[in-house]
Amino acid sequence: MGQAFETWGNPSSSHAHGRQANEIIEKIRRLIAQVTGVSPLEIVFTSGGSEANTLALMGSFFLKKPGLRLLTTTVEHSSVRDTASLLESQGVSVDYLQVKRSGVFDLDAFERQVTEFRPTLVSVMAANNETGVLFPLKEISRICREKGITLHTDAVQAFGKISPEEWNFCDLISITAHKIFGPKGVGALIVRRGTPLVATHYGGAQEVKRRGGTENVLGILGFGGAASELPTREEIENIRVLRDSFEKGLLETLSGVGLNGADVTRIPNTSSIRFEGISSEVLLGALDLEGISVSAGSACSSGSISPSHVLLAMGLNKQEAKECLRFSWGKTTTREDIDTVLRAVVKHVTRIRDRKRKA
Amino acid sequence: MSSLIPNFVPEKPSRIVVAMSGGVDSSVTAGWLKEQGHEVIGISLQLHDMAEKIENEFGTCCSLSDIMDARRVAEKLGIPFYVNNMEEEFRQAVVDDFIQEYLNGRTPNPCIRCNEKVKFRQLMDWALDLGADYLATGHYATVIPNQENKQMELFKGGDVDKDQSYFLFAMKQEDLARTLFPIGGFEKKVVRDLAVKYGLLVANKPDSQEICFVQAKSYKEFIEEEVPKELLKPGNIVDPEGRVLGQHTGLHQFTIGQRKGLGVFGKEPLFVLALRGKTNEVVVGPEQNLFRKSATVSTLNWINEPLTQARKVHAKIRYRAKESPVEVMPRPDGKLDVRFEIPQRAITPGQAMVFYEGEKVLGGGWIEDLSIQ
């Protein structure tokens, strides 16, 4: 935290305090560039993943040459989805690609849609934030490159969980600090050299005129701290082993349990699981009261949970989608943690189902 | 005086789920239970999406801004808080029925239906799934176990002006045994003082007045927005002898006892006497014809033992009506004939009639169409 006091100055100021703050930002810019395998100049700090996604899409729209045509999928984060529908309301042609029932990206359909719809911009996430399902970005990128289409990827969920080589070849890339145990409210859009983009925030020449406004120096400092402690290859493999044993344990112990995105390539730390007959809020609450934090769908501003559009797009009905919980693991997760969570889930699911049977 | 009637609350520290609406009553319920040493958990149902109308603050139940109030109260009290989106279930169980009743020429009471089909069903289930011993609400009513037969008995609330026992007549024994109305015996003033004591921002929030999902609109506007035009059928306005006096553009615009907005005139002021769903007619006539001494009530629920023979009790024909002495007579078909000692103004089909003996709620049912009698 000592370094935090060095962030007091405005990085745009010429005086010593300003220079000190600027030095911190530039040091971390180099670090982020290094861990993502891009060049420091390509990093544009933002207030997080949502702003990065919005900037990628809106910043392409404001180019206005030769007229934006956006192709995206039905399972993107709401920051992409809502920006896409805003663009649609502004007269932009937008088309949506369906995923297969298992959540798998349909490459054939994508290729067809690219030929028929002729997009100028494709926005496809690297890994889904709810199911962890990975999309084949290399193939998608190859198709886009052949046709001269700009490719944006929302790599928020993939960053820190798979190698950057799996996604850093895209033209525009969104990442965020809080998905790698950094602070909330800071992230970056990676704008690869040669990719045109217009700023959506104005106020100064910061971030090489791609994002105006005084930088969140303290947030960026935290982003750097988290980026310097990304899990190693071995640690990631360990998370995968623990995650798999949790899923296996659950499926063996309980009936009426379904794994979303089973048999599909997923990032190693996410399990999206459906508990038949138990609404997600109920189980989420029961686990929370034991100090176990899990997620359900996407939380709206009131904290109320709507059926996940991702799970609906994967072919689950509303009822089924309201019975799913997401478990996320990290590099500090231990075998004991897995066992504790497993025992708690089995206990509550059994108790709730017993009660419903008697009622 | 903090309590007029003793009210059942467990002495042993229990896990109690509080249904929080963001209003002062349920907020104080949570705070008071916590003060008594219970493990308190707050839950809210989001029943209609007011997100796009968040700038409107109408002080009614269960809109988004109210859920945010509930969340803030829970944070202040330091209790866990969960929200469940039940827009669809609420729509089916309460709103659709509300609309259909109006289209059929009846005047529904959505709050009782919500208590019966949503609150004491979905909320109770949720509370039990969270491992709770009890579900508590901020209703002004009291529950006391009968020491002899171990049944729970339901009584009016401690604050005469705020008594909400009318809305609770449809409750079952098994639910009463698991439901607490911790502030039910308090006076409203005491509740507001407690809110101040607990440092709750909702201490001065106005009481809810409107039907929550209708909000600032009139119910007539609400129905016209929700219902396809072809379902709003025009019809005749007639006098009790069947003479046509004029036309109307839909039964939903009328309630019994209404005087304004009829568009027809007689020698003396005309009032809506009845709505005939089958023929789509509005019957109007002089005010004295609004007073009736009898009604039939169906779909009955008795809190304790059912009434099997004629008995003299008191009845309330709508929430804001005064109780009045009646003789009730069970019919072979399971319905109940009710005879009032004093003629009642505007007995309205679709409203609940609730029976009392002193402070005690015996039960109640739904007022049938007058034309069926």
Q: What is the mean pLDDT of residues B136-152?
A: 94
Residues of B involved in catalysis? 114, 212
Among the partner residues B46, B126, B128, nearest to A304 by beta-carbon distance: B46
Closest CA to B111 of B69, B42, B168: B168
Q: How many CB atoms lie within 10 A of CB B159?
A: 19
Residue A79 host element (H or E) = helix A78-89
Cα B275 from Cα B256, distance rounded (Å): 7
Torsion, Cα of B219, B223, B224, B230 (10° steps): -150
- Chain B CB within 8 Å of residue A292 CB: no
Cα B16 from Cα B39, distance rounded (Å): 6
In chain B, what residues touch A280 (CB-CB under 8 Å)? none
- Chain B CB within 8 Å of residue A286 CB: yes
CATH superfamily of B290-372: Translation factors (2.40.30.10)
Cα B173 from Cα B303, distance rounded (Å): 7
Token pair belonging to A204: 């100064």
Check if the beta carbon of residue A293 is closer than 8 Å to that of residue A337.
no
Give the up-direction half-sphere exposure of residue A133: CA atoms within 13 A in the CB hemisphere. Answer: 25
CA angle B212, B214, B215 (to 5 degrees): 70
Burial class (CB in 10 A: 0-12, 13-18, 19+), B26: buried
pLDDT one-digit tens code per residue, B196-216? 999 998 888 888 766 777 766
Residue B67 host element (H or E) = helix B64-77
pLDDT one-digit tens code per residue, B337-359? 999 999 999 999 999 999 999 99
CATH superfamily of B233-285: Adenine nucleotide alpha hydrolases-like domains (2.30.30.280)
Q: Has the ipTM of the complex gone over 0.85?
A: no
Q: How many CB atoms lie within 10 A of CB B107?
A: 22
Q: How many CB atoms lie within 10 A of CB B280?
A: 17
* Total CB pairs under 8 A between chain A and B: 57
Q: So what's the pLDDT on residue B373?
A: 35
Check if the beta carbon of residue A37 is closer than 8 Å to that of residue A63.
no
pLDDT one-digit tens code per residue, B261-315? 888 887 889 999 999 988 999 999 999 999 999 999 999 999 999 999 999 999 9
Q: Across A111-256, where does the E strand assignment appear?
A: 121-123, 150-154, 172-176, 187-191
Does B217 have pLDDT greater than 90? no
**Reported CATH class of domain A2-227:** alpha beta
pLDDT one-digit tens code per residue, B64-87? 678 889 999 999 999 999 998 888
Cα A38 from Cα A188, distance rounded (Å): 12
Of residues B43 and B4, more confidence is placed in: B43
How many angstroms separate the CA of residue B126 from the nearest CA in chain A?
6
Q: With helix as H, strand as E and coil as C, how does B86-123 read? A: CHHHHHHHHHHHHHHHHHCCCCCCHHHHHHHHHHHHHH
Closest CA to A24 of A231, A215, A229, A230: A215
Cα dihedral A305, A306, A309, A313 sign = positive
pLDDT means per 10 residues, chain A with 359 residues, are 74 90 95 98 97 97 86 96 96 95 93 97 96 96 97 97 97 97 97 95 92 95 97 95 97 96 92 94 95 79 68 90 93 96 97 90
Give every CB contact of residue A338 below 8 A, 6+ residues apart in sequence.
A242, A245, A246, A249, A329
Token pair belonging to B283: 């019957």
Does B110 have pLDDT greater than 80? yes
Domain A233-358 sits in CATH 3.90.1150.10:
yes
- Chain B CB within 8 Å of residue A304 CB: yes
User: Amino acid identity of A341?
Assistant: V
Closest CA to B181 of B314, B366, B365, B361: B361
Give every CB contact of residue A174 below 8 A, 6+ residues apart in sequence.
A49, A52, A53, A56, A152, A153, A154, A155, A156, A187, A188, A189, A190
Token pair belonging to B230: 């072809």
Tell me whether residues A300 and B51 touch, CB distance under 8 A: yes
Which residue of chain A has the CA closest to B89? A319
The DSSP letter of residue A127 is B
Q: So what's the pLDDT on residue B235?
A: 94
Among left, alpha and beta (phi > 0; psi -120 to 50; other), residue B229 is: alpha
Cα A58 from Cα A54, distance rounded (Å): 6
Check if the beta carbon of residue A183 is closer than 8 Å to that of residue A203.
no
Q: So what's the pLDDT on residue B63?
A: 60
Check if the beta carbon of residue A187 is closer than 8 Å to that of residue A173.
no
Helix or strand or coil: residue A139? helix
The CATH code for residues B15-204 is 3.40.50.620
The domain locations on chain B are 15-204, 233-285, 290-372
In the numeric block, the tokens 């705020």 are attached to B162
In chain A, ranges of CATH 3.40.640.10 domains: 2-227
- Chain B CB within 8 Å of residue A302 CB: yes
Q: What is the DSSP string of A12-50?
A: T-SSHHHHHHHHHHHHHHHHHHHHHTS-GGGEEEESSHH
A324 is catalytic: no
In chain A, ranges of CATH 3.90.1150.10 domains: 233-358
Among the partner residues B51, B83, B130, nearest to A289 by beta-carbon distance: B130
Give every CB contact of residue A68 below 8 A, 6+ residues apart in sequence.
A60, A61, A87, A92, A93, A120, A121
* pTM, 2 dp: 0.87
